[in-house]
Structure 1
C-alpha cells in the first residue's frame, strides 16, 4: 500500500466481539497498526504507547485500531491485562494483514520465517492512505503517528 491509494476495506471482530468495518470510520482519521503477537515485549510496548496517546489521537479526530492474527480471546486477555482503550482486531485468516502487505519474511536471530510485519497505516477521512510506517520503534511510535497527524491536519487547514 502506498500513500494516496484507497485503503482496502475490512470487517474484523474486536476483543469484545464487536465488528469493525473501515467504512464505519469514514469522516475520521484511522490509525491502523499491524503487530505480530499479543503480550510479547515489543507488541506490549507499542500497544501501551497507543493506549497512552489515545486521548491525544482522539482529540485529533483519529481512531486507533490494532490488528494481529491472534484470536478474539487472546485480544481480550491482552487488552484487559494492559488496560488498552482501543479495539484490537482479530485477523486469524490473515486476509486483512495480507491486503495491506503486512505479511512477509522476517529474520530473527538468523531464522527466516513468515509473519506479521510491524506496519502502521494512517488512513484519511476519505479512506485513502495518508502515511505508511514500515520501520517502527514500538515505544515511541504512537507519538510519531500523533506528530504526523498534527502535521497533516495543519497542512489541510
Structure 2
C-alpha cells in the first residue's frame, strides 16, 4: 500500500514549546537574500505588507522509503500536509492581502519538485545553507548528519515579526489558525 503523504499517522509525538523562538516577536528580519523556487531572489526584510513565512523540515517524496525514526522526532512529520494546507487556503490569504512563503533547508531541486508535484501556488524559499535560520537563531535538529529547521511560522509586517507560531502541531491546521486570527 502506498503511503498517503496528505494524512498524518496516529500517535505522533507532539513538539513542546522549548522557548527557542521567544526572542523572535518584534524582531526586524535580517537582510538575507534567498533563492526561490521560481528563480527569483527574495529578501523578506524588504517585503512590504503582511506575509506568512512558514519554516518546515522537508517535504517527503512518494518514491522514497520512509525515513527510519523520522516519525519519532517531535514535529518532524507533516511537511507535505502543511504545504498542501497552505496551498488549499492560499486564495483566502490573497484576498486578505497576505503573501505566503515556505522555507526549508532542502535542496532547491527537491523544493522545485515539491512545487510541481504538490501543485503549490505560493513561493518556496531555499535555505539549504541555513543562513536565514542562523541569522534569526531558529531552532534546528540533526537527523543522519543533516540539519533541518524545526517547524514554526512567522507573521511578518513590513519586515518585522508580528507573531510567532511555535510549536506548530498539527501542521495542517496552521493556515486555518492564522486565517482565523487575521479575520478577528
Q: TM-score range by the shorter chain?
A: 0.7 to 0.9
Q: TM-score, normalised by structure 1?
A: 0.82
* 1:18-44 residue CA offsets vs partner (Å, 9 max, x unmatched): 111224521x20111100012265100
Higher strand share: 1
Paired residues in the alignment total 145
Q: What is the SS of the residue equivalent to 2:172?
A: coil
Is the 8 Å Cα contact of residues 27 and 161 (structure 2) preserved in structure 1? Answer: yes
Distance 1:55 1:29, change over 3 A: same
Provide the alpha-carbon RMSD of the alignment: 2.1
The gaps in structure 1 that reach 5 residues or longer are 152-157
* 1:65-106 residue CA offsets vs partner (Å, 9 max, x unmatched): 110011221111001111000111111110101222323347
The gaps in structure 2 that reach 5 residues or longer are 1-22, 62-76
Higher helix share: 1
Within a 5 Å distance, the mapping from 1:46-57 to structure 2 comes to 46-57=82-93
Within a 5 Å distance, the mapping from 1:71-150 to structure 2 comes to 71-105=107-141, 115-124=148-157, 126-136=158-168, 137-150=170-183
Q: TM-score, normalised by structure 2?
A: 0.71
Query: Which of structures 1 and 2 has the bigger CA Rg?
Result: 2
Q: What is the SS of the residue equivalent to 1:140?
A: helix
